[in-house]
Amino acid sequence: MYLIIDVGNSFVKLAVFKKDQLVAKRVVKLMDVLKAVEVIKKEYPTIAKAIVSSVGRLTQRDVEEIGVLFDLTELNHNTKLPFENLYGTPKTLGVDRIALVCASVKQFPKKNTLIIDAGTCITYDFVTDENAYLGGAISPGLRMRYASLNNLTANLPLLDTECPGNIIGNSTKSSIHSGVVYGVLNEIDGNITAYQEKFLDLTVILTGGDTNFLSKQLKSSIFVNDNFLLEGLNYILQFNSN
């Protein structure tokens, strides 16, 4: 059994896999990660190996303490990967994006694949049918857009995410909802269309914290998988264990 630890910007996801099967999943705050790891260790004593992927602020001390409990792999740009990385600056490629690409090459081999991760940021990552990662794009996510309107203006309020009832906002609040939500939806649909025009037989995966909110409103045909990043990390751990 494997323990997967995904440290994001807001929360930490912990998952237990038995080969490719997700057995358990928990979401905790960063301050509670060590306690959660210890609980999982007691509940699943047969876990021998773990992998940690951190885009957040997990300290080196935390990593070392986890390493005492498990044979630990810390994902970075030196980790052996199951794809050809053609990114121009591989040392700056986020570990979350690496994990998503690994999931795609396992689950959709020899296919042109666009992975869209809708979280704090929206990332777009493209893998060719020849197993080559070319890169993609990064843009602000839903919450970041709401927050920027509030932070960078004098009078616009900070709103919770809400599906607009009409594209034409008839108040400041409804105008913000329309601008943010339809802006994101049109961006995603537009990117998918642009890739489809360039690459035949494109497979599109949507994942990330805003998946459920966005997926029902997108026009494009997509695969939805909330656990895609965790599955990618699990594959990396398996790939480096062989």
Residues 48, 89, single domain; the answer is: no
- State how many domains the chain has: 2
Residues 61, 121, single domain; the answer is: no
pLDDT at 221: 83
Q: What angle do CA 35, 36, 40 make, to 5 degrees?
A: 120
Catalytic residue numbers read 96
Q: Does 150 count as an annotated binding residue?
A: no
Q: Decide which of 42, 74, 106 is a domain's last residue.
A: 74
Residues 149, 228, single domain; the answer is: yes
Q: Does 94 count as an annotated binding residue?
A: yes
Residues 188, 212, single domain; the answer is: yes
Residues 102, 193, single domain; the answer is: yes
Instruction: Please report, for the domain that includes residue 177, its CATH number.
Output: 3.30.420.40
Q: Does 211 count as an annotated binding residue?
A: no
Q: Does 11 count as an annotated binding residue?
A: yes
Residues 132, 217, single domain; the answer is: yes
Tens place of pLDDT for every residue, the chain, 242 residues? 999 999 987 789 999 999 999 999 999 998 899 999 999 999 999 999 999 999 878 888 899 999 999 999 999 999 999 999 999 999 999 999 999 999 999 999 999 999 999 999 999 999 999 999 999 999 999 999 999 999 999 999 999 999 998 999 999 999 999 999 999 999 999 999 999 999 989 999 999 999 999 998 998 889 999 999 999 999 999 999 87
Residues 28, 106, single domain; the answer is: no
Residues 108, 199, single domain; the answer is: yes
pLDDT at 63: 92
Q: Is residue 241 part of a domain?
A: no
Structural domain for 226, as ranges:
84-232
Hey, how many other C-beta atoms are within 10 angstroms of the C-beta on 95?
A: 22
